[in-house]
Amino acid sequence: MPTYDTPEQAVRAFLQRLAYQRNQALLLETPPVGGETAPDRAAAQAVIAAALADGRSMLDEAEAKAVLAAYGIAVVPTRQAATPEQVAQAAAGFAPPLALKIRSPDLSHKSDVGGVILDLPTPAAAAEAAAAMRARLAASHPHARLDGFTVQPMHRREGAVELIVGASCDAVFGPTLLFGQGGVAVELIGDRAVGLPPLNRSLAREMMGRTRVDRLLDGFRSRPAVDRAAIERVLVAVSQLVCELPGVMELDINPLLAGADGAVALDARIVVTQAAGPGHARLAIRPYPAEEERWLDWHGEPVLLRPIRPEDEPAHREFFESLSPADIRARFFAAVRPAHDQLARFTQIDYEREMAFVAVRRDADGRTRTLGVARAVSDPDNLVAEFAVVVRSDLKRRGLGRALLTRLVEYCRGRGTGTLFGQTLAGNLAMRRLAESLGFEAGPCADPELIELRLRLAPPR
């Protein structure tokens, strides 16, 4: 029975327990399937590589927006100009009013030095403003380099909310994500929530809910509600960006203008460096390992062997419903039908400690079905990992179990796992023959109804 010196300490302890329970329930939510677009990673990497080759760690605004656009984030069209005269030419194709900003690698926060002018009525006015801006910057910051200007059309949405979405690298946790109320007073307001990538839509929604500005998104009085799904997509896209582009050290979208018809990045700032290793090496939570996907020609039809994903829960439920009672007992040693929380734990795994490969096929009706799964869970030191394999009851003895187990052995060997072992019913001769054909050795268990299958993958450490 815990005891506390003051009521305040007891209340804090209770709220901590409540927050833990809420977080655990959140982790078991099944994220929505689909709806995200594949990014143009090569285009984003080319922009970063060009900046690094030029000796720059700070992307200019147009480059930063190009990286965001490559990941499906809507941005305001922006043109660059080296001189005030070129500003007028660049602005000629935009409908006024116009926004003008400086381009300087030495001044990342342009509004702090008078480097942003809004609501310019004509291209000629934009050129005049650029000349005045250049003279003002030379007087106030004589050592700052001025590479030119950017010009863009003003972008307004009735009832829109200014937000900030960002990312930075923490010394302990690696990349972290930020969401909150944006605008020029973002530091003063301090309304923000921090999360760890990778995000899905459910986690993005929870992150938004930890801010005060979240209450403004539902609309009030004459203001329409904001398109929350668009903001969630931006957060997920930024999460994917920092996971896949290890050279990105800092990222700010401020403001992200969110309204009833979507969200658009008005300004962006990205700091990059030379990547020291693969993207997932710096993350506190390993993202989905897409590099582990393999295609299999299975009896003349393509089947994808890939790591399991949280979105697979509905297909995984259907898969379990396809198993006969005998196959369920052979897998779990009992007659069970997994509930939602068990299925969530099967599909939402820590790829650093566990791996589950599913064989999936797209049927004629367009539905993706799970045909089988092979799973391994390792100890913290990766010395031993316990495995299990199960295939749909109507697809047994067609080589799918062998393909899954072979892929699992290959993966565990590549990770340096010492020993792979599993238990099966003594009467499950098919599983025993399959394992022994792949080099496993069968031995007795403490339970006489079971046998143990063991395969050494690496010398003992």
What pLDDT digit, counting tens, does each position of 194-221 carry? 998 888 888 899 899 999 999 989 877 7
Say which range, 25-39, 78-92, 261-275, 306-320, has the weakest mean pLDDT: 25-39
Domains 36-76+156-285 and 290-456 share a fold: no
Q: What is the mean pLDDT of residues 237-258?
A: 92
Say which range, 106-115, 290-299, 358-367, 379-388, has the weakest mean pLDDT: 106-115
Query: Would you say residue 29 has pLDDT above 70?
Result: no
- Total-model pTM: 0.77
Say which range, 4-13, 141-150, 255-264, 271-280, has the weakest mean pLDDT: 271-280
Non-local CB neighbours of 276 within 8 Å, separated by 6+ positions: 246, 282
Query: If pLDDT is split at 50, 70 and 90, which confidence band does 146 have?
Result: confident
Confirm if 162 and 180 have CB atoms less than 8 A apart. no
Beta-bridge partners for 250: 168, 271
- Select from 156, 165, 187, 176 the least CA-distant residue to 255: 165
The pLDDT, as a whole number, for residue 410 is 96
The pLDDT, as a whole number, for residue 32 is 60
> What's the CA gap between 34 and 332, in Å, rounded?
31
Q: What is the mean pLDDT of residues 61-87?
A: 89
Q: What is the mean pLDDT of residues 248-273?
A: 92
Q: Which residue has the tokens 């391994």?
A: 376
CA atoms within 13 A on the CB side of 63: 23
For 392-427, what is each residue's pLDDT tens digit? 999 999 999 999 999 999 999 999 999 999 999 999
For 93-141, what is each residue's pLDDT tens digit? 788 888 888 888 777 667 767 788 888 888 888 888 888 888 888 888 8
pLDDT greater at residue 359 or residue 331: 359
Query: Would you say residue 30 has pLDDT above 80?
Result: no
Helix H, strand E, coil C: the string for the chain is CCCCCCHHHHHHHHHHHHHHHHHHHHHCCCCCCCCCCCCCHHHHHHHHHHHHHCCCCECCHHHHHHHHHHCCCCECCCEEECCHHHHHHHHCCCCCCEEEEEECCCCCCHHHHCCEEEEECCHHHHHHHHHHHHHHHHHHCCCCCCCEEEEEECCCCCCCEEEEEEEEEECCCEEEEEEEECCCCHHHHCCEEEECCCCCHHHHHHHHHCCCHHHHHHCCCCCCCCCHHHHHHHHHHHHHHHHHCCCEEEEEEEEEEEECCEEEECCEEEEECCCCCCHHHHCCCCCCCHHHCEEEEECCEEEEEEECCHHHHHHHHHHHHCCCHHHHHHHHCCCCCCCHHHHHHHHCCCCCCEEEEEEEEECCCCCEEEEEEEEEEECCCCCEEEEEEEECHHHCCCCHHHHHHHHHHHHHHHCCCCEEEEEEECCCHHHHHHHHHCCCEEEECCCCCEEEEEEECCCCC
The pLDDT, as a whole number, for residue 293 is 94
Chain-centre distance for alpha carbon 160 = 26
Q: What is the mean pLDDT of residues 239-255?
A: 92
The pLDDT, as a whole number, for residue 107 is 72
Query: If pLDDT is split at 50, 70 and 90, which confidence band does 28 have?
Result: low
Say which range, 132-146, 247-261, 442-456, has the weakest mean pLDDT: 132-146
Non-local CB neighbours of 227 within 8 Å, separated by 6+ positions: 258, 259, 260, 261, 262, 263
Query: Would you say residue 33 has pLDDT above 60?
Result: no
Q: What angle, 0 to 180 degrees and rounded to 10, lies between the N-to-C axes of helices 228-244 and 201-209?
A: 110
72: left (phi over 0), alpha (psi -120 to 50) or beta: left
Query: If pLDDT is split at 50, 70 and 90, which confidence band does 281 have?
Result: confident
Q: What is the mean pLDDT of residues 34-46?
A: 80
For 75-99, what is each residue's pLDDT tens digit? 988 888 888 888 888 888 788 888 8
Mean pLDDT of all residues belonging to the chain: 88
CATH fold of 36-76+156-285: D-amino Acid Aminotransferase; Chain A, domain 1 (3.30.470)
**For domain 78-154, which CATH number applies: 3.30.1490.20, 3.40.50.970, 3.90.1010.10, 1.10.357.10?**
3.30.1490.20
The pLDDT, as a whole number, for residue 71 is 95
Q: What is the mean pLDDT of residues 182-197?
A: 84
Non-local CB neighbours of 85 within 8 Å, separated by 6+ positions: 127
The pLDDT, as a whole number, for residue 434 is 94
Both tokens assigned to 197: 């990538």
Non-local CB neighbours of 8 within 8 Å, separated by 6+ positions: none
The pLDDT, as a whole number, for residue 279 is 62
Angle among Cα 405, 410, 414 to the nearest 5 degrees reads 145
Say which range, 16-25, 29-38, 153-162, 393-402, has the weakest mean pLDDT: 29-38
Q: What is the mean pLDDT of residues 299-322?
A: 91
Q: What is the mean pLDDT of residues 163-167?
A: 94
CATH fold of 290-456: Aminopeptidase (3.40.630)
Q: What is the mean pLDDT of residues 281-291?
A: 84
Question: What is the amino acid identity at position 369?
Answer: R
Query: Would you say residue 2 has pLDDT above 50?
Result: yes
Both tokens assigned to 348: 């939402």
Q: What is the mean pLDDT of residues 185-194?
A: 83
Q: What is the mean pLDDT of residues 32-55?
A: 82
The pLDDT, as a whole number, for residue 35 is 47
Confirm if 267 and 302 have CB atoms less than 8 A apart. no
Query: What residue spans define the domains of the chain?
Result: 36-76+156-285, 78-154, 290-456
Q: What is the dihedral of CA 450, 455, 459, 461, to 10 degrees?
A: -40
